[in-house]
Each structure stands twice: as structure tokens, then as C-alpha cells.
Amino acid sequence: MLPGDPGPDEAAVERLVATTLDEDLGAAPGRDVTSQATIAPTTTGTADLVARADGVVAGLVVVPVVLRQVAQRLGLSPATVVVRVPDGTRVTRGDVLAELAGPVQLLLVAERTLLNLASRASGVATHTRRWADALAGTDALVLDTRKTTPGLRALEKYAVRCGGGTNKRMGLYDVAMVKDNHVAAAGSVTAAIEAVRSRFPDVAIQVEADTRDQALEAVAAGADFLLLDNMPTPVLADVVAAVRAVAPTTQLEATGNLTLGRAAEVASTGVDYLSVGGLTHSSPILDLALDLRPV
């Protein structure tokens, strides 16, 4: 697990693993017709989880969960996992990330599920690390969004943290995000903020602003956090300066049309965060493999 991080929500991981196993094995308890036909349940062995490409590893926390659930489904003896490289570590091709030992049938039944999840998480962490590196030396952090793979949010947002990024909100329930459609429905930025404060006084309020006037109206109405959307760098710098002059503690996030090449330039405007949906919706996997050691 990433040092100092609580890891992804345990209940969410349990549900995720159960769902992915249902996809691969069929409805619980399910079956692997090849492995169960060709390998005796008493045959034991050891397999190495190996990086096939350079990157940042994440998602190894799911490996023991997958093995435990498979063992319980199929009535097999449990396996052991020795993690050699903790989540959040840069790895190179050929590095052994973990050693798995137990019934060979169990290892092979679990193989694709644990690889799918760990490869996906490691891909997100690797992509996030590129952004974190691009922002090194600035005061800005890279931030994820809700543009996650359905069912994988807890794991993908954990992977963002493993890559040096940060999470702002987990869903629609923990932070209010007032966007243009909410403003249109409520009548104004101020009316939307007041409505949220009245109905849900315990939540922080974030407002999407496309212009300087919208940003200043939002902070005047008490917004905690501004999402500054699709602003050219000079405009963004002007809006940041204007907001800082009247509300210096309001957190500011740049989003829209962001690239790695622009990252440092955008950070130089004084924003606290760069919001990048691509961390989760467009990251390729990191290629990982499970290699069974010869008997």
C-alpha cells in the first residue's frame, strides 16, 4: 500500500473483485474449465508478478483480495502474497512486484482478474506521475475528476494518489459542484450557491467559472473552490489575481485544454490545482504479467 495512504475503500474493493470474478468465472462460485480440468487442486507452486514496461505501480492491494475470493469460491487452500515493491514506486521492465505462492489452480484462476485490476491502476498511476513531474517545482498539484471507469472509482482515485496526484471529491455526495447547467436552472451563480448552502450546509461548494465576472460573483457569494474553465493563460492569470485580491484563501483549479506541455505555464498563474480528466479516462494500462516458476 502507498505509505501513509489508507488505500482504496475496502468495501468497494471487495465488491469490485466479486464483480470482476463473476465476469470471468460466471455466477458464483463459477468455474475455470481449463485450469480445473488440467491442474489438481493439491498441486502447489509460486508465481512472480512482473512489470513488462517502465512505470509506476499501483493496485497491488487488490491481489490478496482476488486470491482470497477465488479460494473461497472454489474451496481451495489459501495463497500467500509477498509484495516486493509497494504501490507508488517507479518500476522498470523486468522488476518483480510480488511473489504469489499456493495452489497452482488458484493462481491461474485468479491471474487475469488480478492483472486487469493492477495493470489498470498502474497505468493511471504512471500517467499521473508524468503530470506530477511536469508540475515539480511549482505550487500546483494535479487533480483528478469524476471521469472514472464505472465500478473502478475507488481504485482509480487511489492510483492517482499513488502517482503523486490528489483527489478533490469522490462523487456527487461529498462536494457540491455548481456548473453552468445548475446556474441556468437556479437563475444565477449566487442563487445556486445560496440554494446549496440552504439545503446542504455541511458540504464545500465548488463553482465552475468561465469568466472573471463569474469567478468574482462566486467568491462574493461564498464559494469555497473555483473551477476556472478553458481560460487562455493570460486570462487565467488575470482571474487568479482578481480572486486572490478579494478572497486569498479560496482554492483555485484550472481545467480544460490542459496538456503536459502547458502544465508549468498554467501553474505559474498561481492556481492550486490542474484538473485532468485524462488521468482516469484516457490512461493506457501498464503491462504486467504473472509468470509461474518452473517446477
Whether 213 is catalytic: no
Q: Which of 179, 180, 291, 293 is catalytic?
A: 179
Catalytic residue among 111, 217, 224, 229: 229
**227 three-state secondary structure:** strand
**Three-class SS of 143-182:** ECCCCCCCCCHHHHHHHHHHCCCECCCCCCCCEEEECHHH
Beta strands in 10-149 (DSSP E): 44-51, 55-56, 80-83, 90-91, 96-103, 141-143
157 is catalytic: no
**In the annotation, is 229 catalytic?**
yes
The catalytic residue among 52, 68, 84, 112 is 112
- AA identity, residue 179: K
Q: Kindly state the DSSP code that residue 139 receives in the 8-state scheme.
A: S
Residue 5 is a catalytic residue: no
CB-count burial class (<10 Å; 0-12, 13-18, 19+) for 190? middle
Active-site residue, 32 included: no
Residue with cell 457540491: 176
Q: What is residue 215's three-state secondary structure?
A: helix
Distance CA 261, CA 72 (A): 48
| Catalytic-labelled residue, pool 87, 208, 253, 272 | 208
Q: Which residues contact 187 (CB under 8 A, 6 or more apart)?
A: none
- Could you say which of 147, 197, 244, 262 is catalytic? 147
Measured over the CA atoms of residue 194, residue 196, residue 199 and residue 200, the dihedral's sign is: negative
Which amino acids are annotated catalytic? 112, 147, 179, 208, 229
